[in-house]
Structure 1
Amino acid sequence: MGKDNTRRSFLKKATLGSAAFTSAPYILASSYQQKISLTRDYTFEDYSKNDQINLGLIGCGIQGIYDTTSALQVNGVKLVAVCDLYTGRLDRAKELWGKDIFVTRDYRQLLDRNDIDAVIVATPDHWHKKITIEAMNAGKAVYCEKPMVQHWEEGHEIISAQKSTGKICQVGSQGMSSLGNEKAKQLYEDGAIGEIVMLDFFNDRYSAEGAWQYPIPPDANPDTVDFDTFLGRAPKVPFELKRFFRWRNYRDYGTGVAGDLFVHAFSTLNHIISSNGPNKAMATGGLRYWKDGRDVPDVSITLYDYPKTDTHAAFNAAFRINFIAGSGGGGGFKLIGTEGEMEVGQNSVKLKRSKLGMIPGGYSMIAYTEATQEKIRQGYTAQNLETRESNLSTGETIWEAPEEYKGGHYDHFYNFFQSIRNDKKVIEDPTFGLRAAGAALLANESYYQKKPVLWNPDTMRKI
């Protein structure tokens, strides 16, 4: 951020009632505290049967169902087909969306259908690249769940396929399009926190479900589960239900906490500060509690370095995940700057601006005589280090979405379908998706190699 985008310019915009503070009657009151409502306008149209976007779902697991539920809330969208490798999920699809939908265990049958305009790819991570590229080559728009790829090298193939086909491809980090992200980006660009110095992200969990120990259905067996197809390019292993239903626990199919959780934070962070990402990662952690056969850590701490760019100063980011947090769990995403901090969520943003203490107090003055203390105080007063403006600009503002807000997940699909209808750029295209996934996957590279790893955020390649 340029110097003109720090405290002085932010306060000027605030007092003028600009976009930074759409309503700020007490902005210059001492230690202000206020709440402001966030709003968003949508374009709603009635679409005829011929104008509907026909949707196919590939991967009807937990996230696939949540994705489809949000997608179908957008006007003019119809689900026509579902693919999954477990027959019980195909039965569940018919329960949820009607007996008339087409179901199959072969995703290629969806891609061959001329009546499908777009597909959701919500498979295990190791299938993302292959199905996404094949779907675009088949003429479909694609909503690919995060992380876009299991290995960063695969991302360049998806980028090339999107450019050559011209098809819309949205990466599904669902909070990206949220009101919280939109407001945080606006505030940051207005200089609300000054120059960023640190990002603090954490996610604590305290349940078996939160640690990916998902239930295994009693009817799961070699007849109802196509395990060989699930394995795909992964090493061949004997039939094992835990690997199929709890695939996030294995490096062969997933990306660990980095691909599941870090990638969300990178999507939000890079969006808010208009960054291409970090250039260095150092990770540690371990498997501390959930020793159920998994080969990924349940506690992960990674430190990232972001280089200076035209949109932000050089800063550090700390990412922490704990799947055995005895506190009961919780999470946070906080941008900390030279003049304030923002706590960002999908539905809210909290901005806190504090006074920077520049004048020594009793702690350091105790070593001097009373006469010397007085001379020191006079010297600091003459420098005018704490201006009236800085004293008045402290406090807290919270922006909150209204109760009727449909949420960031809906907004991400709204953006996706609007892009299909109007041939516009999506908010998270494959290039953005690789920068988020690549940065997240550096944590795995560093953890397993037991050393720092370097990354070029512009070329999106490991150094």
Structure 2
Amino acid sequence: MNNNKTRRSFLKKAALGSAAITSTPYIYASSYKEELFLERIYEKREYSANDQINLALIGSGIQGIYDTTSALKVNGVKLVAACDLYTGRLDRAKELWGEGLFVTRDYRKILDRKDVDAVIVAVPDHWHKRITIDAMKAGKAVYCEKPMVQNFEEGHEIIKVQKDTGIICQVGSQGMSSLGNEKAKQLYEDGAIGEMVMLDMYNDRYSSEGAWQYPVPPDANPNTIDFDAFLGRAPKVPYDATRFFRWRNYKDYGTGVAGDLFVHAFSTLNFILSSDGPNRALSTGGLRYWKDGRDVPDVTLTFYDYPETKTHAAFNASFRVNFIAGSGGGGGFRLVGTEGEMEVSSNSVKLTRSKLGMTPSSYSLIAYTEENQKKILKAHSLANPENRKSELNIGETTYKAPSDYKGGHYDHFYNFFQGIRGKKEIIENPTFGLRAAGAALLANESYYQGKPINWDPKSMKLL
């Protein structure tokens, strides 16, 4: 990163803003604590029935419902069909979106429909690649839930098909298009925290639901669930409702903690820094509490190395997830630089800038005579004539989304539909999606192999 991206260059900017994301100017003081509000400007337009985007949902489970609910808040979007392998979810789709909704257990019937313009792919991870590729080949724009793929090789196939077809494909890390991410990117590029040193991400949970022990409905049976279709290319096993409804707990269908949670952090981190991602990962952890048949850990700690690039210095990243956090739970995402730090969420950014302690203190001076102490302090003052300047403009600013902000999930779908209409570039295309998913999947590779894993973030391949 260019060395002029420092506090000094940052402080020359009296106001940080753009047409889409703005805030009031900085209030300069020797030390301050303030709150500023962000703003989002959306296109104001109503669409006729002929101009609307007809949407279909493939995978009407928990995330699929949340995705569709957010998507339908965007003007000019209508849900016309839903697919799931459990009939109870199809009944639920009709409860939510009307009895006239077309429903099926075969996603191919969705892709055959001429009235479907775009699909949400919110199925278990091991189905992402096939359905995403089939949908693009059928001419449907795709919003594919994260992680984009279950393994590295699949990502390159999706990238190729997207380039060959030219079909819009957005990967769904919900907070990617948020006000918080955009403001953090702007602040970083303006030099607000200096050069990157480390990233600290943690997610603590303390509930069975947080540990993916989702309820199994009373009517679950081989007649209401197409279990063979669910298995797909995964190893064949007898009907097991627990595997169907709690698929994240199994390597055959999911990607564990890394694919569920790390990938969000990598999406945000790579976006803020304009980075291709890390080049090395070392992971540890274990199954400490939720010993319910799952074969993925419930405690994971992974350390990543990011190489120096044109947009950031070399730095380290720490990712930690604990599904049995006796503290009660919580989470954080903190970028630490040489001159400050940012705590980032979809709805806010807290920027803290501090003074670097360079003046000898009583701790080290205690070993010298009073006369030598005075000489040391005088010599230090003469050698650092700008030390007083470093004491100015230190403090804390929190940038917050307004109370009526529609949220990062809405913004990500807004970007998707604007992309379909040719009005915006897709913010998380398949290449971006593989870089985020690939970095996350390195944690699994390292954990199960018991060794560090090297990765080429540009070519997106294991070394």
Q: TM range, normalised to the smaller chain?
A: over 0.9
What is the DSSP-based 3-state SS (H/G/I as helix, E as strand, rest coil) of the residue aligned with 2:119? strand
Deviation of the 1:389 alpha carbon: 1.9
**Structure-2 separation of matches of 1:286 and 1:25:** 46
Is the Cα contact below 8 Å between 1:282 and 1:302 reproduced in 2?
yes
Which residue identity is paired with 2:343? Answer: E
Unaligned runs of 5+ in 1: none
Q: 1:359 to 1:67 in 2, by over 3 A?
A: same
Which residue identity is paired with 1:458? Answer: K
2:127 equivalent in structure 1 = 127
- Alignment pair present for 1:115 and 2:126: no
**Structure-1 separation of matches of 2:237 and 2:168:** 36
2:456 equivalent in structure 1 = 456
How many residue pairs end up in the alignment? 460
1:47 equivalent in structure 2 = 47
Which residue identity is paired with 2:331? Answer: G
**Structure-2 separation of matches of 1:219 and 1:194:** 57
1:24 equivalent in structure 2 = 25
**Which runs of structure 2 are paired with 1:8-157 in the superposition (5 Å)?**
8-13=8-13, 16-19=14-17, 22-27=23-28, 29-157=29-157
1:366 equivalent in structure 2 = 366
What is the DSSP-based 3-state SS (H/G/I as helix, E as strand, rest coil) of the residue aligned with 1:258? helix
1:16-39 superposed Cα distances (whole Å, 9 cap, x missing partner): 334398423522x11111111000
1:356-381 superposed Cα distances (whole Å, 9 cap, x missing partner): 00011111111111111111111111
Q: TM-score, normalised by structure 2?
A: 0.98
Which residue identity is paired with 1:368? Answer: Y
1:369-399 superposed Cα distances (whole Å, 9 cap, x missing partner): 1111111111111111662221012100000
**Structure-1 separation of matches of 2:87 and 2:42:** 37
Deviation of the 1:44 alpha carbon: 2.1
Which residue identity is paired with 1:330? Answer: G
CA RMSD across the alignment: 1.0
Is the Cα contact below 8 Å between 2:415 and 2:424 reproduced in 1?
no
Is the Cα contact below 8 Å between 1:359 and 1:385 reproduced in 2?
no
**Structure-2 separation of matches of 1:204 and 1:25:** 34
1:31-53 superposed Cα distances (whole Å, 9 cap, x missing partner): 11111100010002111111110
Which residue identity is paired with 2:15? Answer: G
Is the Cα contact below 8 Å between 1:136 and 1:165 reproduced in 2?
yes
Percent identity, please: 74
**Structure-2 separation of matches of 1:353 and 1:134:** 49
**Structure-1 separation of matches of 2:383 and 2:121:** 61
Q: TM-score, normalised by structure 1?
A: 0.98
1:234-273 superposed Cα distances (whole Å, 9 cap, x missing partner): 0001111110000000000000000000000000000000
**Structure-2 separation of matches of 1:18 and 1:89:** 46
**Which runs of structure 2 are paired with 1:244-259 in the superposition (5 Å)?**
244-259=244-259
Which residue identity is paired with 1:63? Answer: Q
Is the Cα contact below 8 Å between 1:358 and 1:386 reproduced in 2?
no
What is the DSSP-based 3-state SS (H/G/I as helix, E as strand, rest coil) of the residue aligned with 1:95? helix
1:193 equivalent in structure 2 = 193
1:283 equivalent in structure 2 = 283
1:273-306 superposed Cα distances (whole Å, 9 cap, x missing partner): 0000000000000000000000000000000000
What is the DSSP-based 3-state SS (H/G/I as helix, E as strand, rest coil) of the residue aligned with 2:410? helix
**Which runs of structure 2 are paired with 1:347-426 in the superposition (5 Å)?**
347-384=347-384, 387-422=387-422, 424-426=424-426
Deviation of the 1:136 alpha carbon: 0.2
